[in-house]
Chains A and B, each alone.
Chain A
Amino acid sequence: MKGQFFIIGALLICSLLYIGLAPTISVTVADSADMGRLAENMESELPHALNIGAVSPGVPGALMGFSNFSADAAHGRGISMKCLWVAIEPGQGSVNVTVGNLMGAEETVGIDVDGTYMAVRVPDGAFNYTELPVSGPSFTVNITHADGGTAAEMPSNKTSLYAFLQLSRGGDVTRKEILA
């Protein structure tokens, strides 16, 4: 009989606790389709970060800072975000190529500009740069890395951006390549 009173007492206490505490506990619901939307979001904002940040804090600072900020925000939603970006800025008879790496491991990125090739090794969480010669109003660039790459013709007189994004939550993975 005493033992049964233990069980009844436990159930009573649980019920009182639930009545008292339940209204203060809210459930926050996240949309599982938001990985694709985050990819779209990055497609519009990474180039914008480059444009407005080119002077201050500078191209590497703006892109590394914004990539890190976005990865932290994504992490808050249970999304793992990895990012690799390549910014190509015009120079005098050359282009300055900066590669940023937030892929979680060291990356070696192949950059071929009009037939001149350079392998740029970048530690995780850092950026590295190189300079490659160009002539004429545009150039052909071929970017290769462990997860993909692209080939494109770019104008010699403006800053261009390539980015690779990998978003994952559990078994779901979304990849996106951005060219701007």
Chain B
Amino acid sequence: MKGQWKTMEAVVSGIVMLMFVAGLFAAHSQTLSAPPVKGWDALSAVNDRGLLRGYAQSLDTAAIEREAGNTGYLSGYNYTVAICNATSCDGSAPSADQVFASSFIVAGDDSYAPAEVILYAYRG
């Protein structure tokens, strides 16, 4: 009887460990109906001013960050921009507890050069 209790307790501890590891490495993304930061609105505003395509074509992440910040949609948040074309990305997601990602796809500016502009907003 004692042995069976020890076995059960060992099994329970194993299950606890497995559940923890599974939860730790499970998909760590979620979808919200209304995130608190308007990243897409910021990128769209930069595009409406006729700036986003040119900066994306020249891989100018700093310029997009500056212009996105000037829109006022990102107040209270830190943010970085990545520009990804078919083969590589310039810039990357930040290391933060919760990152809000918004993206805008452009076809190019004066020549065909498709790219995805991703704005990452986060606190802290």
Contacts and interface: CB of A to CB of B under 8 A. Distances in A.
Nearest to A65: B114
Interface string A10-46: 1101100110010111111111111001100110111
B95 interface: yes
A10 B17 CA distance: 6
A7 B33 CA distance: 39
A176 to B, nearest CB: 14
Interface in B1-27: 5-10, 12-14, 16-17, 20, 24
Q: Which of B20, B34, B101, B112 has the most CB of A within 10 A?
A: B112
Chain A binding surface SS class? helix
Contacts of B40: 31, 34, 37
**Contact size range, B:** 35 or more
Contacts of B114: 49, 65-66, 69-70
Contacts of A52: 107-112
B12 to A, nearest CB: 6
A149 interface: no
Q: Which of B5, B103, B110 has the most CB of A within 10 A?
A: B103
B30 interface: yes
A117 B78 CA distance: 56
Contacts of A155: none
Interface residues of A, number: 46
Nearest to B40: A37
Interface string A47-81: 01100110011000010011001100100011000
B110 to A, nearest CB: 7
B17 A27 contact: no
A26 B96 contact: yes
A26 B99 contact: yes
19 contacts: A3-B7, A11-B13, A17-B20, A25-B24, A26-B93, A27-B99, A29-B30, A29-B35, A30-B29, A30-B101, A31-B32, A32-B33, A33-B33, A33-B34, A48-B53, A49-B112, A52-B109, A53-B107, A62-B112
